[in-house]
């Protein structure tokens, strides 16, 4: 053990005599963070904002995106109030986008329009954000720390669209972004949130018939899909029927109106099926009154369906059972009341009969004596 300790000590003592100059590729600058500096690379730092911005522009034009990114970031951090800062912020986002780091690019674009809302390229920035969100909606993978692919995420994608709508609800891309939130939720199979997103689209852009009609239709379709997956929750079917009815009332000339009517009929049948299942559940556990209520709902919701025929048969059987049960309960109640009456009098039925016989004998004796 001592031999190893001595060997390590000698090695540590000799290391300084064999070291050579080794330039570090990672350089830390206060206020700017760590940057990568290739050995022998060109010097990109400048002492003035204008010159630094020129480096960023020239590097971006040459597709040297790493150098352009560092130069633009330096302008934004060192000269945030200069006239070059908005353009530098834009170039920084573009560099991330060109390097396939779309989520970081989206955030930098968002920072640009937040810090510099009067930036001359505002419209382009919003449109680029929409393009990035659309790529994620199409299935592009998100990246951890900007480099490790972790798979697609419709949850994150919907958040990107929400930021666009929050920032620019009345921009020309606003309706598309709001509709895309619903589409992302549909791909999650979260039809409730999808319908809410489409409803919001119809409300926000009600002055645009084409957009409003499409949003209302998709809201109804989302609720219809939700109803198909929920046997005991009839709320989705009710919402779907209401939305289809609104669609037909507001857009009677739309070529999808016949399909809406057909969907309403199918949903009413689905409602009847759901009520039938609930009725059978209550009947199984002998909750006959509750079962009768839901069997009657089947007849109300779709009286012409096969489910209605079955409901009628079960209603006849249950009414007979309820009548027999009520009769048995009434008889048992009457017997209990009679028994309770005798107990309160403290006299049994046999003693009452004996007393009545004795009284009749005494009456006969008294009559014979008088005669």
Segments making up each domain of the chain, as ranges: 26-99, 112-188, 269-341
Answer for the pair 82, 90: CB distance below 8 angstroms, yes or no: no
- For every one of its 371 residues, what pLDDT tens digit does the chain have, with 9 covering 90 and above? 565 565 566 665 655 544 444 444 555 555 545 555 553 345 788 889 999 999 999 999 999 999 999 999 999 999 999 999 999 999 999 999 999 999 999 999 999 999 999 999 999 999 999 999 999 999 999 998 878 899 999 999 999 999 999 999 999 999 999 999 999 999 999 999 999 999 999 999 999 999 999 999 999 999 999 888 765 557 888 899 999 999 999 999 999 999 999 999 888 888 888 889 899 999 889 888 899 999 998 888 888 888 888 899 998 998 888 888 888 888 888 888 888 878 877 555 555 455 555 455 455 444 444 44
Contact (CB, 8 A) for 244 and 223? no
Q: Are strands 148-151 and 142-144 parallel, antiparallel or unpaired?
A: antiparallel
**What distance lies between CA 224 and its chain's CA centroid?**
16
Q: Report how far residue 299's alpha carbon sits from residue 305's, in angstroms, rounded to the nearest whole number.
A: 9
Are the C-beta atoms of residues 139 and 152 closer than 8 Å to each other? yes
CA distances (Å), 333 to each of 12, 286, 321, 336, 339, in order?
Answer: 102, 20, 18, 5, 10
Helix (H, G, I), strand (E, B) or coil at 318: helix
As a whole number of angstroms, the distance between CA 163 and CA 159 comes to: 6
Count the Cβ atoms, other than its own, within 10 Å of residue 227: 24
Could you give the angle at the alpha carbon of 207 between the alpha carbons of 159 and 163, nearest 5°? 15
| Dihedral, 27, 28, 29, 34 alpha carbons, nearest 10 | 90
Q: Quote the tokens at residue 120.
A: 């001359």
């Amino acid at each position: 053990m001592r031999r190893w300790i001595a060997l390590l000590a000698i090695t540590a003592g000799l290391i300084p005599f064999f070291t050579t100059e080794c330039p570090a590729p990672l350089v830390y600058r206060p206020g700017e963070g760590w940057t990568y500096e290739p050995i022998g690379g060109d010097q990109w730092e400048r002492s003035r904002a204008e010159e630094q911005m020129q480096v960023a522009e020239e590097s971006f034009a040459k597709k040297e995106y790493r150098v352009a990114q560092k130069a633009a970031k330096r302008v934004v951090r060192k000269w945030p109030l200069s006239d070059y800062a908005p353009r530098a912020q834009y170039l920084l986002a573009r560099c991330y986008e060109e390097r396939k780091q779309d989520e970081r690019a989206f955030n930098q674009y968002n920072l640009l329009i937040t810090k510099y809302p009067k930036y001359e390229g505002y419209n382009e920035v919003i449109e680029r954000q929409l393009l990035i969100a659309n790529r994620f909606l199409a299935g592009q993978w998100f990246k951890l720390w900007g480099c490790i692919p972790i798979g697609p995420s419709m949850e994150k994608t919907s958040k990107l669209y929400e930021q666009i709508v929050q920032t620019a609800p009345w921009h020309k891309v606003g309706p598309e972004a709001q509709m895309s939130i619903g589409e992302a939720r549909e791909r999650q199979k979260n039809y409730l949130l999808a319908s809410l997103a489409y409803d919001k689209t119809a409300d926000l852009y009600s002055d645009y018939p084409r957009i409003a009609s499409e949003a209302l239709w998709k809201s109804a379709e989302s609720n219809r899909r939700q109803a198909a997956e929920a046997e005991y929750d009839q709320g989705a079917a009710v919402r779907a029927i209401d939305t289809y009815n609104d669609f037909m009332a507001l857009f009677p000339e739309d070529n999808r109106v016949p399909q809406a009517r057909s969907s309403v009929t199918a949903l009413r049948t689905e409602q009847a099926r759901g009520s039938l299942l609930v009725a059978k559940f209550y009947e199984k556990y002998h909750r006959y009154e509750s079962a009768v209520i839901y069997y009657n709902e089947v007849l109300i919701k779709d009286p012409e369906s096969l489910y209605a025929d079955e409901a009628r048969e079960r209603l006849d059987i249950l009414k007979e059972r309820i009548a027999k049960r009520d009769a048995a309960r009434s008889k048992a109640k009457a017997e209990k009341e009679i028994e309770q009456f005798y107990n309160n009098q403290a006299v049994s039925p046999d003693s009452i009969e004996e007393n009545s016989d004795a009284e009749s004998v005494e009456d006969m004796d008294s009559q014979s004596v008088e005669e």
